[in-house]
Chains A and B, each alone.
Chain A
Amino acid sequence: MRVALFVTCLVDMMRPRIGFAVIRLLEAAGCEVVVPESQTCCGQPAFNSGDLASAALLAKKVIAEFEGYDYVVAPSGSCADQIRNEYPGLLADDPEWHRRAVAFCPRVHELTDFLANVAKVGKVPGDFAGSITYHDSCAGLRNLGIKDQPRHLLAKLPGVELREMPGAEECCGFGGTFSVKFGEISAAIAERKCASAGTTGADAIVGGDLGCLLNIEGKLRRMGDERTKVLHIAEVLAGGT
């Protein structure tokens, strides 16, 4: 099957290695991976800020670029949620685009959901050895039902010891533009998340959304924690970290 990678703007700019890890994972799962070169952003920052015109402009762009593939995979529950659950409503006033959105959106998956439930991979190439605590990112967890998928995949790595933190499902305080509009509140919430993760003593905090991970990593380092790694699930599953 031909699978298009939706890189996401944060991975594109901040952590390209996550994008390459996703390619390795998808290829190991037997997919033909395509990376449409003109892709940019799913439009969620505009959508969540109330700028629907800008959000609709980018939604149409994503649909046009990606609708020709069997599946679209994004290493982010947040972007996948935006596309899957918001595009049809966002384009509801335009019958032609709405039809295209409805046909397209169910084929868009968050990475771990795709690997576990669509590709149904038997094994993953990673070789991570150590203890991990998993942070459930909000949009993936509550809007896409991503909870067991990453844990199911991590269990395929014999060297991984999963240590659940208290409040794994609680928000890390990132919230997209919230993190730069209400920085102090956002960082205070992140501090709680770091403290919860810290109680496990795990070597790494792992999650499926780079926004949350940058927030958590930034808070850990400011708190003086230089030890705990902060990794995207794709890096752990694909190996080479």
Chain B
Amino acid sequence: MQIRSMFFKANAAAALANPVLQGNMRTSKGKFVDKRRTAIADFSAEGGDFEALRDAAAELRDRVLKDLDLWLEKFEAAATASGATVLWAKDGDEICRHVVDIARRHSVRKAVKSKSMLSEEAGLNQALEASGIKPVETDLGEYILQINNNEPPSHIIAPVVHKSLDEVADLFEKTHRTPRKTEIPELTREAREVLRSHFLDADMGISGGNFLVAETGSVALVTNEGNGRMVTTLPRVHVVVTGIEKVVPTMEDLSLLLRLLIRSATGQHISNYVSLLTGVKRPDEHDGPEHLYFILVDNGRADLVASEFQDMLRCIRCGACMNHCPVYQTIGGHAYGWVYPGPMGSVLTPLYQGLNKAIDLPQAATLCNQCGVVCPVKIPLPELLRKLREKQVEKNLRPWFERIALKGWAWVASKPKLYALGTWFGVRYLNWLAGADDRIRVLGVAPEWTLGRDFPAPEGKTFRELYAARKR
């Protein structure tokens, strides 16, 4: 996917000025946050200890990342023994080459897809189309985006969360050329009817993978619509595209992560479908693919192993960080400009796409740590964002006036007499700006502040002046 993170500010401003989007964001915010909270309360009421699960999951993910190469080799051996083929992709282009090669090898004309963020990283749909293979998204959200001129997703688990029912109704009416539906069940039924024929005549299914289980060579898929099961069992060929960090050692480990992932993501105790797929169709089986391929993707991940950003690889893609992020809640996912939005995206995008292509993202956070406290695998997201800011400073990527302002402030603050003088002038200047009603409507030294709010005037004198006078 082409990165547009350099236009973050302009995209955010457009999002703020879009009343439909603002309404949709308000609706979704409450739902995600409330559902997660209820699910965790239920878990505690049943005697569960969610915090202990988080600790165990963070420890598990760290343990896997420490020997990632060994667990991947183990997975490869088990998957190969089950009849699957394991391929490796360095980057998005290599993902596309592998998938197109597989499609050609098996004379594929149409591929049905269930949700995969890796395919967004790679721009896989465009690559398939360019090779004459028709990709059909079957996740309802992804389908809506595909028929809306290949719009990118705005959320990692709810790709179409930015759209209203009305917008979807309009889109279905236009695309399917059917009478306009206004109820959700009617719309989903219509999508189902359209998609059913695609499932039946597709030659290939492409899915992501929530986890890979090393001991069995299986892929675990967490879905709610049932399309994932159709994609992975009906076509002759199944291709799994997922990141190398998704491997876990055992089924037991998988169950730990599933308990956390689903509650953190949708607030369900368990999703409608949890599929565990191992190997190709065996002679005594009635369904399943004849050919199963795993494409395990690096695309920047290996560089994070053993780096100061390794904690980010613990991520299990639940979306809780963005659901709870005050910035994401305000501007939605598209403004972030690449595949992953919200706090996890603001860490991953500069790391995977280059620090200089996403200058605003690590800065576009209040560091409120709401993401840190909801993350099911305890990724210290604010700390990672701050570390990226350090990298920006080290590489001289910050604007000159910001560097001078910070250095200047610190230098003055290290000289108490100068600081006292500076603040003496400062408060008087601000009071002069404020005028009679004690508020500043345009703040020249920090104009962004007064774009949407006033700046209250200082009281008059500084504390240190008043305190010194009182002591005398």
| Cβ-defined contact, A215 with B453, below 8 A | yes
What is the count of residue pairs linking A and B with beta-carbon distances less than 8 angstroms?
206
* Interchain nearest-CB distance for A208 vs B (Å): 15
Q: Which residue of B lies closest to A181 (CB)?
A: B363
Interchain nearest-CB distance for A8 vs B (Å): 9
Which residues of chain B have C-beta atoms less than 8 A from A190's C-beta? 452-453
Using A54-B407, A218-B456 as known contacts, say yes or no to A189 and B369 having CB atoms under 8 A apart: no
Structural contact, A184 and B13, CB atoms closer than 8 A:
yes
B16 at the interface (CB under 8 A from A): yes
Whether, in the assembled complex, A4 has its beta carbon less than 8 Å from a beta carbon of chain B, the answer is no
The answer to whether residues A175 and B367 also contact, given A37-B464, A142-B373 and a CB cut-off of 8 A, is yes
Contact A184 B448 (CB under 8 A): yes
Decide if B459 touches A191 in the complex (CB within 8 Å): no
CA distance A149 to B402 in the complex (A): 37
In the complex, chain A residues whose CB is within 8 Å of the CB of B24: none
Interfacial residues of chain A within 81-106, with CB under 8 A of chain B in the complex: none
CA A185 to CA B22, docked complex, whole Å: 12
A12 touching B459, Cβ below 8 Å: no
Chain B residues in 8 Å Cβ range of A7 = 463-464
Q: Which of B326, B393, B410, B448 is within 8 Å of A170, CB to CB?
A: B326
* Contact mask for chain A residues 168-192; partner B; CB cutoff 8 A; 1 contact, 0 none: 0111011111111111111111111
> Which stretch in B55-63, B192-200, B337-345, B413-421 binds the other chain?
B413-421
Interface residue total, chain A, C-beta cutoff 8 A: 65
Q: Judge whether A150 is part of the interface by a CB distance below 8 angstroms.
A: no
In the complex, the chain B residue whose C-beta lies closest to that of A44 is B367
When chains A and B are docked, how far (Å) is the Cα of A219 from the Cα of B449? 10
Q: Which of A12, A58, A185 contacts B423 (CB 8 A)?
A: A12
Interface pair A218/B367, CB less than 8 Å apart: no
Which residues of A have CB within 8 Å of B436?
A: none
Task: Report whether B414 and A189 are in contact in the complex, using a CB–CB cutoff of 8 Å.
Answer: no
Q: Is the CB of A185 within 8 A of B463?
A: no
Q: Is the CB of A214 within 8 A of B455?
A: yes
**B residues 14-72 in Cβ contact with A at 8 Å:** 16
| B342 → chain A closest CB, angstroms | 13
Contact (Cβ within 8 A) B452 A222:
yes
Q: Which residues of chain B in 444-472 are interfacial with respect to chain A, using CB atoms and an 8 Å cutoff?
A: 446-456, 458-459, 461-464, 466-468
Taking the complex as formed, is B147 at the interface, i.e. its CB lies under 8 A from any CB of chain A? no
Q: Which residues of A contact B326 (CB under 8 A)?
A: 170-171, 173, 189, 192
Q: Which segment, of B83-91, B107-115, B383-391, faces chain A?
A: B383-391
- Pairwise interchain contact B464-A187, C-beta atoms closer than 8 A: no
- Assembled-state Cα–Cα distance A15/B446 (Å): 19
Interchain CB contact under 8 A, A49 and B368: no
Does A50 contact B391, Cβ atoms closer than 8 Å?
yes
Q: Which residue of B lies closest to A142 (CB)?
A: B369
Q: What 0/1 pattern do residues 263 to 290 of B give for CB contact below 8 A with A?
A: 0000000000000000000000000000
- Tell me, yes or no, whether A51 is within 8 Å of chain B by CB: yes
Question: Are A214 and B456 interface neighbours, CB within 8 A?
Answer: yes
CB within 8 Å of B: which A104-149 residues: 138-139, 142-143
Q: Kindly state whether residue A199 has any CB partner on chain B within 8 Å.
A: no
In the assembled complex, the Cα of A170 lies from the Cα of B409 at a distance in Å of: 29
- Asked whether, in the complex, the Cβ of B366 is within 8 Å of the Cβ of A20, the reply is no
User: Are A138 and B368 in touch, CB under 8 angstroms?
Assistant: yes
Say which residue of A37, A185, A214, A218 sits within 8 Å of B12 (CB atoms).
Answer: A185
Q: CB within 8 A of B414: which of A57, A177, A218, A221?
A: A57
Residues of B within 8 A of A12 (CB): 423, 462-464
Contacts A12-B423, A45-B406, A57-B414: A182 and B449 contacting too (C-beta < 8 A)?
A: no
Cβ–Cβ < 8 Å partners of A159 in chain B: none
Is A38 a contact of B406 with CB atoms below 8 Å? no
B427: chain A residues within 8 A (beta carbon): 13-14
A28 at the interface (CB under 8 A from B): no
B392 an interface residue at 8 Å Cβ cutoff? yes
Closest-CB distance, A58 to chain B (whole angstroms): 6
Chain A residues numbered 1-51 whose CB sits less than 8 Å from any CB in chain B? 7, 9, 11-17, 19-20, 35, 37-41, 43, 45-51
Taking CB atoms, residues of chain B closer than 8 Å to A13 are 423, 426-427, 458, 462-463
A14-B406 in contact (CB<8A): no
Contacting residues, chain B, for A218 (C-beta < 8 A): 439, 449-450, 453-456
In the assembled complex, how far is the CB of residue B452 from the closest CB belonging to chain A, in whole angstroms? 3
**A188 contacts B16, CB within 8 Å?**
yes
Residues of B within 8 A of A37 (CB): 416, 464, 468
CB A83 to nearest CB in B, in angstroms, measures 14
Is the beta-carbon distance between A143 and B414 smaller than 8 angstroms? no
> Does the CB pair B392–A188 fall under 8 Å?
no
CA of A38 to CA of B413 in the docked complex: distance in angstroms? Answer: 10
Interface centre among B12, B413, B414 (most CB of A within 10 A): B413
A48 touches B455 (CB 8 A): no
Which of B330, B370, B463, B464 has the largest number of chain A CB atoms within 10 A? Answer: B463
Decide yes or no: A14 and B458 within 8 Å by CB, A51-B393, A185-B327 being known contacts. yes
CB distance from A142 to the nearest CB of B (A): 4
Any A CB within 8 A of the CB of B9: yes
Which residues 56-74 of A sit at the B interface, judged by CB distance below 8 A? 57-58, 61
Interface centre among A45, A176, A187, A217 (most CB of B within 10 A): A187
Q: Does A52 contact B (CB under 8 A)?
A: yes
In the complex, which residue of chain A has the Cβ closest to the Cβ of B412? Answer: A40
The answer, yes or no, to whether B365 is at the interface (CB within 8 Å) is: yes
Question: Are B368 and A52 touching (Cβ within 8 A)?
Answer: no
Choice from B9, B392, B394 contacting A182 with Cβ under 8 Å: B9
Contact B455 A175 (CB under 8 A): no
When distances are taken between beta carbons in the complex, the residues of chain A under 8 Å from B364 are: 178, 181-182, 185
Some 21 contacts from A to B, beta carbons below 8 A apart, are A13-B462, A16-B466, A16-B467, A37-B416, A40-B412, A40-B419, A45-B406, A49-B402, A50-B394, A51-B403, A54-B407, A179-B448, A182-B360, A183-B447, A184-B12, A184-B451, A188-B452, A189-B329, A189-B366, A218-B456, A221-B439
When A and B form their complex, which 3 residue pairs have the shortest distance between CB atoms, in order from nearest? Answer: A187-B452, A175-B366, A183-B448
Q: A138-B369, A188-B16, A222-B452 are in contact. List 15 more A-B contacts (CB 8 A).
A: A14-B458, A16-B462, A19-B463, A41-B409, A41-B410, A48-B367, A50-B389, A50-B393, A52-B393, A171-B368, A178-B365, A180-B448, A186-B449, A192-B330, A217-B456
